[in-house]
Structure 1
Amino acid sequence: MQAAARPALRAFLIDISGTLHVGSTPTAGSVEAFRRLQNSGVPFRLCSNTSKEATCDVSARLRGMGFELESRENADLSEGPREVWTSIGAVGRVMEDAGICRPYFLLSDSARSELQLDTTLLDRKDDQTPFDAVVVGLCPARLDYTHLNTAFRILAREHPTPSPRQPVLIAAHTSRFLEAPTGGLALGPGPFVAALEHAVPGVKARVVGKPSRAFFEAVIGDVDAYGCISGKGVHVAAPAGARVAIIGDDVEADLGAGACELRLWRILVCTGKFRPGDETRTSPPPDEVVDSFATFIDSFLSDTVTLES
């Protein structure tokens, strides 16, 4: 595939799992490349579809692998920029906007803890408050028949305490498969979301993570408002019309619909869940295909130095 000429880029949205690391191991050269990007002063945000854990846990794992992050994820995020954006964070914002009072969670305890709800109360079988939403993420322990059947009954309004209004189905994301920590592909939450949509006529999931346009717009808005977070260098301002780029290993979940609608420069890395043929599997195809995150950052910073010389 002939690579298109790279335009001026003003900021980066960077996928985490599969791009910066696979399991507990950073991808080749990613820690050093990440540090060089920080020092360049180019604005960026880390964007993860992980729904297995809270955003603060994602940040802690990255720090444990050597990525130097600010500690903002442990602070009050009502004001100021966020360095790490996750689909669980997006779930919380959507629930607040929609006035969700009692969701039924197919989420891990870590993910639920970020939503600051009393999970003990939410799980009580004797509570007569009807469920007004079903929230699905990646939680193998809850994606079984018993939990999915309860979710189905809530959405179909067949639950013993039915909601007076149609409950909402919220999906952290709908990835069909993920890169397992031990290697190889594993089933993602997408097929389970699709099963609930199929089972309840008229119910369509609200997808809040990548590649939804709303997710990307929120992150880009944060970049536009605050610029760099941990950049230590001085970077020449990008020219008018410079584009935002998205870097990821999943041609659909990272580089899909919302990224295309917003005309993000789409960079596919050949690590993580990437498999040969992914580069031609979607239309339009990625704008660039590179060996790794480190390979791209080396190329981008080299071009930047050349332009500034």
Structure 2
Amino acid sequence: MTEDLAGGYDLVIFDLDGVVYLIDKPIPGASEAMEQLRSRGTAVAYATNNASRRAADVAALLTGMGVPAEPAEVLTSAGASAALLAEKLPAGAPVLVVGADALRDEVTDAGLTLVDSAEDEPAAVVQGYGPEVGWRILAEAALAVRAGALWVATNTDRTLPSPRGPLPGNGSLVAVLRTALDRDPDLVVGKPEPALFTTAAAQSRAVRPLAVGDRLDTDIQGAVTAGLDSLLVLTGVSSPADLLAADASRRPTYVAADLSGLFRPAAESAVPLDANKAGGWSVTRNGDSATLDGAGDAVVALRLLCAATWDGVPVTAVEPASDAARELLRSWNL
């Protein structure tokens, strides 16, 4: 094993949206990162909450972006949800799908019967992200759940990352039914539940997996729940301010600006950085407040400040003492 961060692990499990690509465009450095991991023999897997594509479609999309991938390396919340329903329901049971064709195809392949109306008395409603989801199918789902159907959500991501900024995700659509029904789904399959991570590790027979994601509330919390080390990359949804305010269930082992952090020494990404000075920055703790001074790499400042905010300093009580610190905190909306 090499001395960099990735070298300490035998499997790296990547989230996709916000880590490897944004919608349909690769994030700079992603293909190079995968190539480097494969060249050294490190196993790679992709675990995505997005239920709008099947594993083979995801693998083809990645390959077209210059990130070679096999369908067996891809785990989707759509596939996992269909497999779960097949375990819980008799063969051929009627299921109402709220979501994209990929989810409908997964349910069909699992040996279940697709229906489109509450009048068909579905045994379950499975809800995943789909850009064409509208009021009519949500209304049928609400009626079916109210009549006793099992309600399964592929995931509850509130947003999806995009080049234009965060867009409504499946969690926002789940919230529509939650409001109408005044209850939560019976089951949520995707991250932060640990199933995608544990399945990926089992398939690769990994002893020491690392999870890489851009969201604290799904990727990182799921890794914590599964007992895995994790790397937060700042190329997607969660921001430095989110990381400073994260509670223990959502704190990563490492943080980096992007996937290049995998190939630097682990100590350069470990969070929090339990020191007063590093990389041109200094943090002074004054009771319930902290002051950031100096100038340097933004991620170093973030790691230093996490030591203070994770130890009780409110994020709003972090103050700048230099022009560079002032500009950095402003860029983080602090």
TM-score bracket, shorter-length normalisation: 0.7 to 0.9
Residue of 101, 109, 115 corresponding to 2:107: 115
In the superposition, relative to structure 1, how do residues 67 and 202 fare at CA in structure 2: closer, same or farther (>3 Å)? Answer: closer
Shift, 1:10, TM fit: 3.1
Structure 1 residue 99 and structure 2 residue 89: aligned?
Answer: yes
Structure 1 residue 272 and structure 2 residue 201: aligned?
Answer: no
Structure 1 residue 283 and structure 2 residue 247: aligned?
Answer: yes
Structure 1 residue 155 and structure 2 residue 142: aligned?
Answer: no
SS at match of 2:108: coil
Shift, 1:130, TM fit: 1.7
Aligned to 1:83: 73
CA distance in 1, matches of 2:164, 2:209: 31
Query: 4+ residue stretches of structure 1 with deviation over 4 A?
Result: 300-303
Give the letter for the 1:196 counterpart.
L
Aligned to 2:31: 31
SS at match of 1:252: helix
Q: Which moved more, 1:86-95 or 1:194-203?
A: 194-203
CA distance in 1, matches of 2:119, 2:150: 18
SS at match of 2:217: coil
Shift, 1:201, TM fit: 5.4
Structure 1 residue 175 and structure 2 residue 165: aligned?
Answer: no
SS at match of 1:69: coil
Structure 1 residue 131 and structure 2 residue 141: aligned?
Answer: no
CA distance in 2, matches of 1:7, 1:288: 14
In the superposition, relative to structure 1, how do residues 302 and 260 fare at CA in structure 2: closer, same or farther (>3 Å)? Answer: closer
* Contact 1:7-1:243 within 8 A present in 2 as well: no
* Contact 2:6-2:263 within 8 A present in 1 as well: no
Unaligned ranges ≥5, structure 1: 74-81, 158-165, 228-241, 304-309
1:4-19 map, 5 Å: 8-19=8-19
Give the letter for the 1:174 counterpart.
T
CA distance in 2, matches of 1:302, 1:282: 21
Give the letter for the 1:112 counterpart.
R
CA distance in 1, matches of 2:263, 2:35: 11
* Contact 1:88-1:111 within 8 A present in 2 as well: yes
Aligned to 1:210: 191
Cα RMSD after superposing both structures: 2.8
Give the letter for the 1:111 counterpart.
L
Question: Higher Cα Rg: structure 1 or 2?
Answer: 2
Q: How many residue pairs were aligned?
A: 259
Give the letter for the 1:265 counterpart.
D
In the superposition, relative to structure 1, how do residues 196 and 189 fare at CA in structure 2: closer, same or farther (>3 Å)? Answer: same
Unaligned ranges ≥5, structure 2: 269-334
1:28-67 map, 5 Å: 28-67=28-67
* Contact 1:197-1:205 within 8 A present in 2 as well: no
Normalising by structure 2, we get a TM-score of 0.70
Report the identity percentage. 26
Shift, 1:114, TM fit: 3.0
Residue of 168, 177, 202 corresponding to 1:221: 202
Report 1 or 2 for greater relative contact order, CA contacts < 8 Å, sequence distance ≥ 6.
Answer: 1
* Contact 1:21-1:27 within 8 A present in 2 as well: yes
Bigger helix share? 2
Normalising by structure 1, we get a TM-score of 0.75
Residue of 173, 177, 196 corresponding to 2:177: 196
CA distance in 1, matches of 2:230, 2:60: 27
Give the letter for the 2:13 counterpart.
L
